Chain A
Amino acid sequence: MKKAAGGIEQKYGIGTTLCVAACAGQAWREKKPVWDRQRCFKCGMCWLACPDAAVRPVDQGFYDSDPERCKGCGMCAAVCWNDAITMAPEKV
């Protein structure tokens, strides 16, 4: 990758090991979905709507997100019929 001195590549460490480390730690994700099991009625709409196949079924038919795959887009929260999913800020 061609790097310009003082450019965006240097600032954000693109093309260096910094970006790889940032991805591994999900430092780029601002929000993450949190399920409220009291409100969730296990319809599976969040599972279907996730463009990254990050929502997976867990125990008792509930759903949760895979932190390795989730990009924090919030589509699962947007399609939830019963507002059971909230997007919580990611702690870095």
Chain B
Amino acid sequence: MESLQESDIFMDRYSVFAPRLLPQEEDFVAGLRSCPGCGRAMAVRIIAKALAHSRRYPYGSPAGQLRDSGLPYSGWWLFDGKSFAPAPKAAADRIAAAAGEASSLDQGLALCAEARKKKQPFLYICFFNEAGIERHSASAGPGYYPDRTCGILQRFEKMQACLKKAKAAKPDYFATACPAYPFDCIEKISAALRCGGTGFIGMLVPCPTGCLYDPALSLDSGKRAVDTGLFPLYEAAKGSCTLTVAATAPASCYTRLQPLVPAISGRELEQIQNLADKNLRGLSGRKTTISST
């Protein structure tokens, strides 16, 4: 980053040991199904760390355990019921979060609406696979084109369509996150729990298997998607919308990492850059009303 502020440099220097401050106990149960370098497995683990202090566990998962499984086994088994089943009173405070793939967005938003009606705090975390493997409910048509240039455009356009749909449901807290920025992720989950109402966090999860890059570059890919503005990280609460991670890199920074995408022409790259600019234009410095309350 060229334009680092003095405070950022300070934080950069001293946040090196920040992982030491996180809960050391391991609530996450490593699965054998997830691929090497799985972004979603890391996201689930970060969520487990963020929820460890509040002792609240996602709906549908056994207390104290979070599991992850890879595609095509439909990931996190959290949507057991089709409606927001009320838990026994003793365990009611445990139901704080639910998560699912973007394909189950409608179901998750329905749970959110039901929780809101019952005035119960509820956080819905929706995973967006980088390769767009899951079928998005927000728009029709196929979404799996990792081997085409237009694939990048389609994938990120559909993610934005999903986010738009979730924003239209007016949650009390709305944010986007990525495991490539783990501390930002943890802060947002904590903020969503603090707000006490319904929350929605859209999380981009890098997928090395889907995009066929080196698993070691998993976090790098997520970072590039954020830094280029293809998936900007922001939070919206109390009527204001703020960008939490600066996005200054050009779109070519992300496309360069995609081995399945053939040589990109100038026009196609321009289209991807336009999408990134559009995402950022809607955010920076603009006040957006999210909740009617």
Contacts and interface: CB of A to CB of B under 8 A. Distances in A.
Contacts of A51: 34, 37-39, 41-42, 45, 218
A43 B46 CA distance: 17
Contact of A43 (B19, B28, B38): B19
A49 interface: yes
Interface in A53-92: 53-54, 57, 69, 71-75, 77-79, 81, 87
A41 B26 CA distance: 22
Interface string B41-78: 11001100100000000000000000000000000000
Contacts of B26: 53
A48 interface: yes
A84 to B, nearest CB: 13
Contact of A75 (B16, B17, B30, B216): B216
B187 interface: no
B182 interface: yes
Interface residues of B, number: 30
B214 interface: yes
Most chain B Cβ neighbours within 10 Å, of A47, A57, A78? A78
A74 B214 contact: yes
B16 A43 contact: yes
A48 B186 CA distance: 12
A71 B32 CA distance: 9
A54 B216 contact: no
Contacts of A44: 17, 19-20
B22 A69 contact: no
Interface in B181-234: 182, 208, 214-220
B259 interface: no
A52 interface: yes
Contacts of A18: none
A41 B13 CA distance: 13
Interface residues on A, range: 20 to 34
B293 interface: no
Contact of B16 (A49, A52, A81): A81
A53 B217 contact: no
Nearest to A78: B216
A45 B37 contact: no
Contacts of A52: 30, 34, 41
A47 B36 contact: no
A90 to B, nearest CB: 13
A47 B216 contact: no
Most chain A Cβ neighbours within 10 Å, of B26, B41, B46, B214? B41
B17 to A, nearest CB: 5
Contacts of B34: 51-52
Most chain A Cβ neighbours within 10 Å, of B45, B182, B215, B216? B216
Given A45-B16, A50-B42, A53-B30, 9 more contacts: A42-B20, A44-B19, A49-B182, A51-B34, A51-B37, A54-B30, A73-B36, A73-B215, A75-B218
18 contacts: A41-B16, A43-B17, A48-B49, A49-B42, A50-B45, A51-B39, A52-B34, A53-B28, A53-B30, A54-B30, A57-B24, A71-B35, A71-B37, A73-B208, A73-B218, A75-B215, A78-B220, A79-B219
List of 3 A-B pairs having minimum Cβ-Cβ separation, nearest first: A74-B216, A44-B19, A73-B36
Interface of B: 16-17, 19-20, 22, 24, 26, 28, 30, 32, 34-39, 41-42, 45-46, 49, 182, 208, 214-220
